[in-house]
Structure 1
Amino acid sequence: MEIINQSKNQVTYTADEAYKESLVYFKGDDLAARVWVNKYALKDSYGSIFEKNPDDMHRRIASEVASIEQRYANPLSEDEIFELIKDFKYIIPQGSPMTGIGNPYQIASLSNCFVIGNDGDSDSYGGIMKIDQEQVQLMKRRGGVGHDLSHIRPKGSPVKNSALTSTGIVPFMERFSNSTREVAQDGRRGALMLSVAIKHPDSEDFIDAKMEQGKVTGANVSVRIDDAFMKAVEAGKTYQQQYPIESANPLYKKDIDPSVLWKKIVHNAWRSAEPGILFWDTIIRESVPDCYADLGYKTVSTNPCGEIPLCPYDSCRLLAINLFSYVDQPFTAKASFNWELFKKHIHAAQRIMDDIIDLELEKIDAILQKITDDPEDEELKRTEKNLWLNIQTKANEGRRTGIGITAEGDMLAAMGLRYGSDEGSEFAIEIHKIIAIEAYRASVNMAKERGAFSIFDAEREKNNPFILRLKEADAKLYYEMLEHGRRNIALLTIAPTGTTSLMSQTSSGIEPVFLPVYKRRRKVNPNDKEVRVDFVDEVGDSWEEYVVFHHRFKQWMEVNGKDLTKNYTQKELDELVALSPYYKATSNDVDYLKKVKMQGAIQKWIDHSISVTINMPADVTEEVVGELYMEAWKSGCKGVTVYRDGSRSGVLIANTENKPEAEDENTTLDFPTTRPTVLEADVVRFQNSKDKWIAFIGLIEGKPYEIFTGFADDEDGILIPRWVNDGVIIKNRDADGGSRYDFQYKNKRGHKTTIEGLSYKFNPEYWNYAKLISSTLRHGMAIEKVVDLINSLQLDEAINTWKNGVARALKRYVPDGTEAKKQQCQNCNSTNLHYQEGCLTCKDCGSSKCG
């Protein structure tokens, strides 16, 4: 564990102090304040917080970036940089840069995205294990990782080892997925993208892997689809799969009916939002870095969200420009876009991005020094050291950047343009064209002052479609680039902005607004003179309804003289939205074919890619999903992901009464009717009063299927090492033919240790209740409902302790965001509760209870 001592003289704040200061900063926005304190405030390994609000963070970042600016001509000052990034108004470093710049308390990368791979496409066990270790080493430094599996030989291929034939791709998908789940990143799991070419003979198994029980739960998966496959689907012709996929003389090949595979891709995406699709020939054809493929810049996969296609060992740092802030007099008839300021800030953003590469190189130096200083044997450190040396080379040589945007939806609304309309799309395309031209111009200007990226070669790039598009749009820029080169090999992206948009209080990334207005209720005391009672429920409790407005919708109301204090009826709210530029422009309103065409047109001005989700209603057909994919390919998209409302549990679901029963997110339809012989298992320890307990939770697809609990570390219980957190539960038979459940785990030498007969170790009464609870789990009852059932059991005091522990253990598996029914907050009495990381969290006051 890496712990860096804090300065004794530095001012520190409690979490509550930082939260209160941030709440003022965000003008009462509780969610934004909590996100900033939890994810981005500077803190050490002991939990000490060194920043009271985002102003402190932005000053930290500005100081570090300014120190790099001083190395070059015409430097930006610290105050100039601070003015650009403060208040999340104009330029917003994303995720890893925001957390890591100027952070002395962690040795971590500033890169958001990495791709790894083997030279020579090795599929030996040694090569696969090397990738596995590299993935883990990157994730522990906070990076999201992607890699491609097309180099692994297909199932049944001859191999020269004791197995005689290859196992194919899927077992290695599971290996990499499991490694991701093992690596915690500041309280969250690692992010992984696995891809494979449709041309690979195992691509069908790859597509199905996440649909099977318990497989690949720790990775996003995408299929690399080539033009030949799409044309074959369209024309109804055969398609050849082969291995190796790029060989002129493959070892293995077969002709398939591509429509069968196509329908499977569409069905799985319709059902579960995966796999995503990468239109690989479009990616490679448009890629500027692939002009240098023979020098190590051949694109092989993407980062987990798909917006940065990369070659092995390259990385990228991300930054977003807040488009809303360039609208003058927003939401009025005089609204206009400040093009002059916008262009000026694009140049500044590209400079800051290039400065962050220098800061990243300093971070890599610190990581390499940490590896050198570690007392481990040099042989054990070799893979990690070589990994970072390779990343250092790519960062220094190519100097790749990732300028993107946020608030596209709000920007269009502020201009009086409806998202998805022809006029809105045309304006959005012009925005991204200007970003491309001015960012490239900034990179050329930096090449004059700082030097071009070291392998720049105009001759290599002369036929690249993206470069030719720039030439047509701005010939002067193109010829200056021929003369001076460019500072960065590739520059642009559109990433999801998630928590960034929460703090900028805008719509996210390129997406439209999710909802401009919605209602909440909070429980009130009817005798309080200061409250308004809007609703009395069936048990007589009184409730006040209040409206929550999207920040920019509220700004539209203010500008247009709408009453923010009024208690609107639903009909009045609907009428209010209908008057606004957000009408028919939310995520579920926008015509998905128009959105994908807009994405394709914008993609022409993005040299990397775009992370965007096409939202579709629950009742959309698979045929329509297929049509959308086909249109995405024809429109020039590099990738596409669809989300059908209700198709994935744990995701915010629209309020609708028409959800198909078979797709109810609270029902697990694919649990086996017969218990498998072996189940993956988590070990959960908990303490109630003075009693120590242990739970063994059998899992299928990462969801609880059975649970056994009892006393831990006790003469009457189970003695198991504290470091054991997982293993397998095996159903066996005793000599008399009765069932027995054994728990098996690997010790620190990798040898298997088995604890026989969990049923013999626990109190029989506990065991019988555990069987009852396991039965409800196996029949697909939602976890939160199982927890409610457990809590409702009327048991004597002795077994109540056990009951509370079981409920606590199972809460860990409730999907984040799940609403908690018939419970109220102990702090404010609201019933607006949901589960977050197993804890009941109040959306109104923010209090959390994990017991």
Structure 2
Amino acid sequence: MGADGRTLTEYQYNEAIEGAKEYFKGDDLAAMVWVSKYALKDSFGHIFEKSPEQMHWRIANELARIENTYPNPMKAQEIYDLLKEFRYIIPQGGPMTGIGNNLQIASLSNCFVIGHRNPADSYGGIIRIDEEQVQLMKRRGGVGHDLSHIRPTGSPVLNSALTSTGIVPFMERYSNSTREVAQDGRRGALMLSLSIKHPDAENFIDAKVETGKVTGANVSIKIDDEFMRAVLNNEKYVQKFPIDSDDPMYVKEIDARTLWNKIIHNAWKSAEPGVLFWDTIIRESVPDCYADEGFRTVSTNPCGEIPLCPYDSCRLLAINLYSYVDDPFTPQAKFDFDKFRSHVEAAMRLMDDIIDLELEKIDIIYNKIKHDPEDLDIRRVELSLWEKIREKALKGRRTGLGITAEGDMLAALGLTYGTDEAIAFAVEVQKTLAVEAYRASVKMARERGAFPMYDNLKEEGNPMIERIREADPALYEEMTQVGRRNIAMLTIAPTGTTSLMSQTTSGIEPVFRPVYKRRRKVNPTDKNVKITFTDEVGDSWEEYNVFHHKFLTWLQVTGYDLSKLDGISDAELDRLVEQSPYNKATANDIDWVAKVKMQGAIQKWVDHSISVTVNLPESVTEELVSKVYQAAWESGCKGVTVYRDGSRAGVLVDTKPKKKEKEECDCDEYKPPLARPIELEADVVRFKNGTEDWIAFVGIYNGHPYEIFTGKIEEDSLYIPKSINKGFIIKVKEEDGQKRYDFRYQDKYGYPHVIGGISRLFDKEFWNYAKLISGVLRNGMPIVDVVNLVDGLSFDSETISNWQSGVARALKQYIKDGTKIRKQKCPNCGEESLVFQEKCPHCTSCGWSRCS
């Protein structure tokens, strides 16, 4: 039953994909992303929408329900018209998935920050944060928290350890917890931050350089103005703990330039740490005007676009800038500012409505926890967590209104991304958005009431508020009289999957490429195909061009016959790109100085922050990376990350150089034994096969999977406590000469248990498939190739297909981060630059990830 009381129709995955492909006019990637991430599903993965049109009506009806509780409500049709075809207003992530979904108990918030109001430097406080982090991630929220309250390495502690272990072990703890939490098939997202003032800052900066460490978190170092001045003047800098104490227990003087060079080297090498210019963040922050009421900013969400106080959260919504260009790609192209202003007001109303919907979701979560069968002692932490989140949402009513399609908007207007003219226009659009968003929030304060803490005296002198005052004095005066509905409201998020569905450029980023190549496998029975090449195993492949959607729009506007693109030569295609407004304006073309300037100028009209990455070619020097970070600080950016082409994979494979053939393999000198040992260590992996509970026993030899046995868990014949995740598989020869495999484990009390003949407990068909997979494992095939083999199997039976997915998931956990995926191209940019990172394919060229 849907949220509106209507009976739901269940669709098979392929049925939903076909429906979505029709909606997206044949765009496979957009269809796949929408079905896998945003179509209405229940907790078992059953799909109840096959078109984004159904989703948009689901969202519109729910928002209209909230609108009806306030004066001058918007109608469902009016809201739907803004949402349809992803044309104007696009809810992002949690809101798109969760609004109107009463089949799952989850939050609508995209991101949270946690942390004690009075930071607890104790095991109790540290473990409490770990528990809260996991509880939020299971509700689909990304989480950020700061570690600056943890005492540095070697500090005395009042327990048997005598001295503190410092920051890094707790980074690993929080990272591992993130990796363990699944969110509808994807891992959780975590941001860990630390102040540069902290004496363990260097250890924090180095933590991710070592292969396999802290792989479940993004890390950012919080840099203050004093440190930046010390770097530029080649001076000393004082670290201390506690970091804000006038009488610290620990003081350490360092050479600022040396530590800065460490930050730059690691960012150049591995794309981390990102930097947060913390004094800029706090100085510009409107919520920090209310720090005395619990709104002191302490960290950011995983992508860095929302700095938050402890237990506050935010929901995201983007406005598609391209859709406000009339007559795009013509000399008459013009941005419709009147329509834009009108839609900004509507977007802010919808953002405020989503807060009310989130409060309803929090109440449902709270009620569910309250009636869980576990002891109250176990439930108390989670209950308290959601109480604090609800309080912050009510007191601040924070929103995250942003934009997408900046690159396409500029191209449609004939402006070249990164030029002074383009930057000036982008700033004018963002300024208009900011002023109109604040105007809408003031109007809602008059109709709905201001956020409870509003105090114009506390906000006096805040740079953001002063800019609003200068831009529109009348608006400011009205705000001082009636208040604002929302404490802060603007951001610019990455909008990766959002841009795939709106078929535009992402966030404020330029186009990655107007065209790139992909390939598809050709079956012997396929007709009308052109075989580009045949690989070493005899499979045939056809290469084809993938075009950026708005590049095709430009071609049509200029009168180009799109049918000519079939079979077009590379030289002719290059000529078309050179004539287009995307020429010299791609991610690889633009000047890094222009990119940072643009971010800093736009940041002046964003009261939260901007998630942006400066893409750099592989050949850039560390000195250039240093200039990027310095220019970002000088331009007024609140944070910045760089990505040097190929750097992520390089650091994750190994810290030592390897020969090329070993870089493309996850074998690491692994040589399987000629004969199967009598006894093997085994991992126990549980997964869902449809609605059924299944189990896999993975035999391990020298740290590598050697065999896999899998099947359905039958309580009467195959009961293994959920706490058991390891044991041994023993090969036993019976009296009649037959072989069997037993599984042996110890329970929590140390008593041994043996399950005899596990092969006989599983369905024969699945057992035979498992024997086949075990055969290639035992012959040393790299795990990534085994997973690709399993993924590539084709079955008519849905049950076997579900089993196939479960086996692939079970084996993926053994793929080392940085392992290259051979013979596959990125579906976003077409480059053969896919690696496994955090158990998910990730493109080192464009940043695309199947799990983001």
Residues in 1 aligned to 2:808 and 2:375: alpha-carbon distance in whole angstroms: 45
Q: Residue 22 of structure 2 corresponds to which residue in structure 1?
A: 24
Q: Equivalent residue of 2:60, what SS?
A: helix
Q: Residue 408 of structure 1 corresponds to which residue in structure 2?
A: 406
Could you tell me whether the CA contact under 8 Å between 1:526 and 1:533 is conserved in 2?
A: no
The match for 1:448 among 438, 446, 449 is 446
Compute the displacement of 1:73 (Å).
Answer: 1.1
Q: Residue 697 of structure 2 corresponds to which residue in structure 1?
A: 694
Could you tell me whether the CA contact under 8 Å between 2:278 and 2:638 is conserved in 1?
A: yes
Residue 577 (1) aligns with residue 577 (2): yes
Judged with a 3 Å threshold, the aligned counterparts in structure 2 of structure 1 residues 371 and 414 are, in CA distance, closer, same or farther, namely: same
Q: Equivalent residue of 2:563, what SS?
A: coil
Q: Deviations over 1:151-173 (max 9, x none)?
A: 01111111111111111111111
Could you tell me whether the CA contact under 8 Å between 1:724 and 1:745 is conserved in 2?
A: no
Residue type of the partner of 1:587? Answer: A
Residues in 2 aligned to 1:380 and 1:401: alpha-carbon distance in whole angstroms: 32
Q: Residue 227 of structure 1 corresponds to which residue in structure 2?
A: 225
The match for 2:315 among 312, 317, 341 is 317
Judged with a 3 Å threshold, the aligned counterparts in structure 2 of structure 1 residues 94 and 584 are, in CA distance, closer, same or farther, namely: same
Residue 633 (1) aligns with residue 629 (2): no
Q: Output the TM-score relative to the length of structure 2.
A: 0.82
Could you tell me whether the CA contact under 8 Å between 1:6 and 1:105 is conserved in 2?
A: no
Structure 1 residues 511-530: aligned runs within 5 Å: 511-522=509-520, 530=528
Residue type of the partner of 1:622? Answer: E
Q: Equivalent residue of 1:120, what SS?
A: coil
Q: Residue 418 of structure 2 corresponds to which residue in structure 1?
A: 420
Compute the displacement of 1:554 (Å).
Answer: 0.7
Compute the displacement of 1:123 (Å).
Answer: 1.0
Residues in 2 aligned to 1:365 and 1:610: alpha-carbon distance in whole angstroms: 31
Residues in 2 aligned to 1:460 and 1:535: alpha-carbon distance in whole angstroms: 68
Q: Residue 488 of structure 1 corresponds to which residue in structure 2?
A: 486
Residues in 2 aligned to 1:147 and 1:116: alpha-carbon distance in whole angstroms: 5
Residues in 2 aligned to 1:82 and 1:158: alpha-carbon distance in whole angstroms: 60
Judged with a 3 Å threshold, the aligned counterparts in structure 2 of structure 1 residues 332 and 72 are, in CA distance, closer, same or farther, namely: same
Q: Which has the larger displacement, 537-546 or 25-34?
A: 537-546
Judged with a 3 Å threshold, the aligned counterparts in structure 2 of structure 1 residues 832 and 252 are, in CA distance, closer, same or farther, namely: closer
The match for 2:86 among 72, 85, 88 is 88
Judged with a 3 Å threshold, the aligned counterparts in structure 2 of structure 1 residues 240 and 106 are, in CA distance, closer, same or farther, namely: same
Residues in 1 aligned to 2:534 and 2:483: alpha-carbon distance in whole angstroms: 70
Aligned length: 773
Could you tell me whether the CA contact under 8 Å between 2:665 and 2:819 is conserved in 1?
A: no
Which structure 1 residue ranges, 5 or more long, are not aligned?
654-659, 699-703, 730-742, 757-765, 792-803, 825-829, 842-851
Could you tell me whether the CA contact under 8 Å between 1:649 and 1:666 is conserved in 2?
A: no
Residues in 1 aligned to 2:324 and 2:128: alpha-carbon distance in whole angstroms: 47
Q: Percent identity?
A: 63
Judged with a 3 Å threshold, the aligned counterparts in structure 2 of structure 1 residues 706 and 397 are, in CA distance, closer, same or farther, namely: same
Residues in 1 aligned to 2:397 and 2:323: alpha-carbon distance in whole angstroms: 28
Could you tell me whether the CA contact under 8 Å between 2:348 and 2:401 is conserved in 1?
A: yes
Which structure 2 residue ranges, 5 or more long, are not aligned?
672-680, 689-693, 729-742, 755-769, 792-804, 843-852
Structure 1 residues 643-682: aligned runs within 5 Å: 643-649=643-649, 667=663
Q: Residue 610 of structure 2 corresponds to which residue in structure 1?
A: 610
Residue type of the partner of 1:444? Answer: V
Q: Equivalent residue of 2:620, what SS?
A: coil
Judged with a 3 Å threshold, the aligned counterparts in structure 2 of structure 1 residues 422 and 806 are, in CA distance, closer, same or farther, namely: same
Q: Deviations over 1:247-284 (max 9, x none)?
A: 01111101101112111111111111111100000000
Residues in 1 aligned to 2:596 and 2:291: alpha-carbon distance in whole angstroms: 29
Judged with a 3 Å threshold, the aligned counterparts in structure 2 of structure 1 residues 443 and 787 are, in CA distance, closer, same or farther, namely: closer
Compute the displacement of 1:835 (Å).
Answer: 8.8
Structure 1 residues 118-157: aligned runs within 5 Å: 118-157=116-155
Q: Output the TM-score relative to the length of structure 1.
A: 0.82
Residues in 2 aligned to 1:625 and 1:151: alpha-carbon distance in whole angstroms: 29
Q: Which has the larger displacement, 804-813 or 5-14?
A: 804-813
Residues in 2 aligned to 1:534 and 1:197: alpha-carbon distance in whole angstroms: 53
Q: Deviations over 1:330-360 (max 9, x none)?
A: 1111111000000000000000000110111
Residues in 2 aligned to 1:96 and 1:32: alpha-carbon distance in whole angstroms: 18
Residue 499 (1) aligns with residue 502 (2): no
Q: Deviations over 1:588-626 (max 9, x none)?
A: 111112101110111111000000111000111111101
Residues in 2 aligned to 1:692 and 1:489: alpha-carbon distance in whole angstroms: 49
Compute the displacement of 1:433 (Å).
Answer: 0.7
Residues in 1 aligned to 2:806 and 2:140: alpha-carbon distance in whole angstroms: 33
Q: Which has the larger displacement, 440-449 or 45-54?
A: 45-54
Residues in 1 aligned to 2:213 and 2:818: alpha-carbon distance in whole angstroms: 23
Residues in 2 aligned to 1:832 and 1:673: alpha-carbon distance in whole angstroms: 24
The match for 1:286 among 284, 287, 312 is 284
Compute the displacement of 1:214 (Å).
Answer: 2.7
CA RMSD between the two structures:
4.3
Residues in 1 aligned to 2:24 and 2:378: alpha-carbon distance in whole angstroms: 47
Q: Deviations over 1:808-830 (max 9, x none)?
A: 96555558998865699xxxxx9
The match for 1:251 among 249, 252, 263 is 249
Q: Equivalent residue of 1:118, what SS?
A: coil
Q: Residue 397 of structure 1 corresponds to which residue in structure 2?
A: 395
Q: Deviations over 1:47-78 (max 9, x none)?
A: 43222211111111111111111111111111
Q: Residue 302 of structure 1 corresponds to which residue in structure 2?
A: 300
Q: Residue 348 of structure 1 corresponds to which residue in structure 2?
A: 346
Judged with a 3 Å threshold, the aligned counterparts in structure 2 of structure 1 residues 775 and 414 are, in CA distance, closer, same or farther, namely: same
Residue type of the partner of 2:697? Answer: I
Q: Residue 35 of structure 2 corresponds to which residue in structure 1?
A: 37
Residues in 2 aligned to 1:619 and 1:815: alpha-carbon distance in whole angstroms: 26
Residues in 2 aligned to 1:403 and 1:288: alpha-carbon distance in whole angstroms: 15
Structure 1 residues 144-293: aligned runs within 5 Å: 144-293=142-291
Residues in 1 aligned to 2:666 and 2:494: alpha-carbon distance in whole angstroms: 31
Compute the displacement of 1:213 (Å).
Answer: 3.9
Q: Equivalent residue of 1:320, what SS?
A: strand
Compute the displacement of 1:546 (Å).
Answer: 2.8
Q: Equivalent residue of 1:565, what SS?
A: helix
Residue type of the partner of 1:197? Answer: S
Q: Residue 800 of structure 1 corresponds to which residue in structure 2?
A: none
Residues in 1 aligned to 2:264 and 2:835: alpha-carbon distance in whole angstroms: 31
Residue type of the partner of 2:548? Answer: H
Judged with a 3 Å threshold, the aligned counterparts in structure 2 of structure 1 residues 229 and 834 are, in CA distance, closer, same or farther, namely: closer
Q: Which has the larger displacement, 291-300 or 23-32?
A: 23-32
Q: Deviations over 1:634-689 (max 9, x none)?
A: 11000001111001139999xxxxxx9879797399999999xxxx99655899xx
Residues in 2 aligned to 1:484 and 1:203: alpha-carbon distance in whole angstroms: 44
Residues in 2 aligned to 1:572 and 1:275: alpha-carbon distance in whole angstroms: 42
Compute the displacement of 1:14 (Å).
Answer: 2.2
Residue type of the partner of 2:442? Answer: V
Q: Residue 112 of structure 1 corresponds to which residue in structure 2?
A: 110
Compute the displacement of 1:11 (Å).
Answer: 2.5
